[in-house]
Structure formats: structure tokens, C-alpha cells
Amino acid sequence: MAQTRIALLGPPNDAQLRAVARELERRGATVLVVPSDALEAHRPVALHHGRLEIDGQRLDDLKAVYVRSLPSPHPPLVEIGGELVLRRDWFAGYMQARERSGFLMAALLCQEAAGVRLVNPPQAGVALQSKPLQLELLRRLGATLPRTLISNDPERIRAFHAAEVARGGEVIFKPLLGGAITRLLDGEVLERLEAVRAAPVIFQQRIHGDDIRVVLVGDALVSAVAIRTPQPHLDFRDDPIYRAGEATYEPVHLPAAVADQCRRAASACGLVFAGLDLKHTPCGKWLFLELNSSPVYLDVERKLAHPISQALAELLMG
Ligand SMILES: Nc1ncnc2c1ncn2[C@@H]1O[C@H](COP(=O)(O)OP(=O)(O)OP(=O)(O)O)[C@@H](O)[C@H]1O
Ligand SMILES: [Mg+2]
């Protein structure tokens, strides 16, 4: 019988990619690791007559592709005197990076059109990886969300803040597309709120309670944990204990209705593999924050023996 061929796209030494590769090999699959920086490193690629080749590997007859990460075109920057500035030759470099990323995106979508399972499809990982859309899809599903305002209008933001304060609460803010730590909208930030006119920001009711990470693989809820550190921070990723890999995890039991909302939210966002961030309040409410298309999970897998890599391998093998 022909072997099941599965491609893994990402940094070849990525621990999570290696863990999935091991589980696939254990199940008898042929694993093809495709370095996500192959094009950046000027490795040869070709798409010819429906045949895809990347760095000498023929990617035909694939059963599935695990998309651990995809390069996205960043403007070419250099640091001069502590300031990030564009390189003088930025235009050609940036356009080439866009074309490279376009090639990989198209190559994946061609595979999908040929019936290859993508975990996750790149359109879900990129286009739907937008918090405003996720929040809207979650709201439509009836999921409980923090009260939210997305705006670049200082007037409306002040009014939103005043209403939360009147309720005895606080407001946090975070970017639409991620890439920055969640912060408190305090007096100092309110004083320079005019800066928000440059780009809309997400403002949210601050939720107190446990940070919950749920991992869904296909329909299976493989892991649901509360993230524990000795001194909880507003954004757990800012916590030195978490950063040092010393967080602990406590398994949590999700009510059936919340688990169901997790599944429906992932499906609405086009994700077959998802890491969902929730808050669990002391009075027992579960509030949704966001969905991640390539969640980092190895620490939970190792510390609690939650079989996420195994579930991923099984999903990829079909
Ligand atoms: N409304 C909120 N109330 C309290 N804490 C919040 C709130 N929103 C975010 N946080 C904290 O900040 C963390 C990061 O926020 P979130 O998960 O929404 O985005 P993100 O992880 O920054 O997004 P990305 O993964 O795209 O960078 C949350 O896990 C939580 O600890
Ligand atoms: Mg998050």
C-alpha cells in the first residue's frame, strides 16, 4: 500500500513541528519537512503542470499539510541610532517578500483544491486571524464576551472608559492583529489618547479571573487548562515566570455549552486546529477572548500529558 505522505511547513527545528513529525512517523507516515524560510533562503522552488517542488522535495500525492507557520512580508527595517527605519532599497525587498509569501499561499491553496487537508488553511490563519471578526463571529454564536469597543475616536473611548469605571470596572486595550501586550487604560494613557487617531485599537472591559487555554483538534477538545503563575499579570505572556517556562497548568472542565461554543467558533473561523483564549471568573462565567490558528501547546502537552501532537497526527492522517 502507498505510504501516507504528510508535509510539515515551518521552521525545521521547531519543537512542536518535530513532535508532530514523530507522532506521524510512529503511525507509518512519510513526513516531508518544508522549511518555511526556503524561499527567503533562495532555495529552488517550482510549480509546473500542477506539480509542486520545494527545495528538491516533490510535494505530490500529499494527504495533508500541517502549517506550523507561514512567513509574512515585513517591511525591511534596519536599526539606526535606536530607531527602526526602512532600508533605502526597501521597495524591491518588500515586493519580493510579498511575492514569496504569495507563492507559498498559492501553493497551499492549490493543494487544498486538489483535496489535500490543510491544518490550518492559510486563509483561516491569515485573513480570519483578526480579533474584530472573531469577536463578531463569537457574538453571533451567543458566546459571552467582555464589553468591547474598537475605535480610533478619543471621545468614544473616553465615554466607554467612563461607563466601565461607573460600573466599578477597568478598561484594557490591545491591538487588532496582535503582536503587543495587553495594557490597562490608566490615567497616563488617557492623557495621550489623541495618539489613537492613527489606528483603531480594541478596548475591553477588564475581566478578572483565570486565563484559560483550550486546544481543539478537529472536533476533539484535547486540552483545557487554567494557566497558573504565582503572581498573575494582566497579560500572562508578560509574566516572567510564564516566560521562563515555569507556569503550571491546571486541567479545567468546560461546561458542555462552552465546549460547544468553542467548536462552533473554530468552525466559523475556518480552523480545524485552534487554541482558544478565555477568562474564567470567580463567579463562574466563561468569557471568550480570541482564537489562535497555530497555538503554542508543547509546554501543556509535556506537563500534563495532554496528547495534542498525537491528536494532530491523527487529524493529518485522516
Ligand atoms: N478583556 C480582558 N480582560 C482581562 N485580561 C485580558 C483581556 N483581554 C486580554 N487579556 C489578557 O491578555 C492576554 C492576551 O490577549 P488576547 O489573547 O486577547 O490577545 P493576544 O494573545 O495578544 O493576541 P495574539 O495571539 O494575536 O498576539 C489574554 O490571554 C489575557 O491574559
Ligand atoms: Mg492570546
CA of 147 to the centre of ligand 1 (A): 14
Q: What single DSSP character describes residue 97? A: H
> Which residues have CB under 6 Å of ligand 1?
146, 172, 174, 178-179, 182, 204-207, 211, 234-236, 277, 279, 289-290, 292
For range 116-120, the mean pLDDT? 97
Return the ligand number nearest the Cα of 180. 1
The per-residue pLDDT for 129 is 76
In this structure, which topology does domain 5-119 adopt according to CATH? Rossmann fold (3.40.50)
201-205 β-sheet, strand order: 148-151, 201-205, 171-174, 183-184
For range 222-232, the mean pLDDT? 91
Does the pLDDT value for residue 233 go beyond 70? yes
The per-residue pLDDT for 232 is 76
Q: pLDDT per residue over 25-71, tens digit each?
A: 999 999 999 999 999 999 999 999 989 999 999 999 999 999 999 98
Higher pLDDT, 17 or 246: 17
Does the pLDDT value for residue 128 go beyond 80? no
- Under DSSP, is residue 23 helix (H, G, I), strand (E, B) or coil? helix
Sequence spans of domains, the chain: 5-119, 147-205, 210-306
Does the pLDDT value for residue 125 go beyond 90? no
Q: Which CATH architecture has domain 210-306?
A: 2-Layer Sandwich (3.30)
CA-proximal residue: ligand 1, atom 20 (nearest): 178
Q: Which CATH architecture has domain 147-205?
A: 2-Layer Sandwich (3.30)
> Residues near 182 by Cβ (< 8 Å), separated by ≥ 6?
172, 173, 174, 234, 235
Amino acid at 297: Y
The per-residue pLDDT for 244 is 85
Higher pLDDT, 184 or 76: 184
The DSSP secondary structure of 191-234, one letter per residue, reads HTGGGGGGS-EEEEEPPPSEEEEEEEETTEEEEEEEEE-SS--S
Q: Which atom of ligand 1 is nearest to the CA of 174?
A: 22
